[in-house]
Amino acid sequence: MKLLTTILILTLAITHLLAQEQRSAEETKGLQVGAIAPGFKALDADNQAFDLEEALGEGPVLLIFYRGQWCPYCNRHLGQIQDSLQFITDKGARVIAVSPEKPDYLEKMAEKTGAKFTLLYDEGYKIATAYGVSFFPKKTEVAMYNTMLGANIKEAHQSDAPELPIPATYIIGVDGSIVWRQFNPDYKKRSTVKEILENLPK
């Protein structure tokens, strides 16, 4: 009886873990406003180290998750951020955009969007996981991204697990807390510059 109970508990635990690991975009919730933003270190397009804690010592941080340089919605969104970058930095904020793509692909994004802000490589999906924005796209979606949009996810992510981030935006205050977020599992819906400027700490 004890053996059966143990097997049942283990089965339920494994099932739960698998369900968590295979969460869809709709099941992904992300960190909420008021939560303490997890600290992280990551490499930028020039393989230089970025440290969130150090950045917050200089002012608030606008943290944007994007899917990759292959995503036309990401390109347009980051292009809009670049076009209004001066307005954001004038309020004392630093812009950081994070994707699961390696530094070589970050350079491609910078070329496509003209981004002068920091682009970071989220190696092993650690940052997206910490912020609760990472999910598993359907196999058919991955195939479409690879064939139609040239995503080359396996190579670009240096991973066999094709995870993607919800393209969420977070404003992190100097005290390390999340003061605002835009979060939508619909990848077509992104934060606007107007929303960002209205919600940056004064």
pLDDT at 3 over 80: no
Edge-to-edge strands, sheet with 49-51 = 49-51, 41-44, 118-121, 94-99, 61-65, 169-172, 178-182
The better pLDDT of the pair 17, 95 is held by 95
Average pLDDT over residues 20-26: 70
Q: For residue 104, give the nearest of 158, 146, 143 by alpha carbon.
A: 158
Domains: count for the chain:
1
Helix (H, G, I), strand (E, B) or coil at 108: helix
The answer to which of 5-9, 42-46, 72-76, 145-149 has the lowest mean pLDDT is 5-9
Tokens of 1: 């009886």
Q: Are the beta carbons of 59 and 94 closer than 8 angstroms?
A: yes
Q: Look up residue 50 and give its DSSP letter.
A: E
Closest CA to 65 of 146, 185, 197: 185
Residue bearing the bigger pLDDT, 88 or 3: 88
pLDDT value at position 12? 38
Confidence class for position 162, pLDDT limits 50, 70, 90: confident
Whether 158 and 151 have beta carbons less than 8 Å apart is answered as no
Residue 29 Cα distances to 13, 40, 166, angstroms: 21, 20, 9
* 163-198 pLDDT per residue, tens: 999 999 999 999 999 999 999 999 999 999 999 999
- Report percent pLDDT > 70 for the chain: 90
Give the model confidence (pLDDT) of 95-149 as tens digits. 999 999 999 999 999 999 999 999 999 999 999 999 999 999 999 999 999 999 9
Residue 200 pLDDT more than 80?
yes
Q: What is the CATH number of the domain that holds 60?
A: 3.40.30.10
The SS3 of residue 147 is helix
pLDDT at 41: 96
Q: How confident is the model at residue 21 (pLDDT cuts 50, 70, 90)?
A: low
Tokens of 46: 């020039």
Q: Which residue range(s) make up the domain with 138? A: 2-199
Q: Please list the alpha-helical segments (H only) found in 22-125.
A: 52-56, 72-83, 85-89, 103-113
Report the predicted TM-score, pTM, of the whole model to 2 decimal places: 0.87
Spell 18-28 as b/e; 16+ CB within 10 A means b. Answer: eeeeeeebeeb
Tell me which residue has tokens 């899917």.
67
Instruction: Check whether 90 has a pLDDT greater than 90.
Output: yes
Q: Tell me: the pLDDT tens digits for 27-39?
A: 889 999 999 999 9
Provide, rounded to the nearest whole percent, the portion of the chain with pLDDT above 90. Answer: 79
Q: Is 114 left (phi over 0), alpha (psi -120 to 50) or beta?
A: left
Q: What is the pLDDT of residue 161?
A: 78
Exposure class string for 156-182: b at 16+ Cβ within 10 A, else e: bbeeeebbbbbbbbbbbbeeeebbbbb
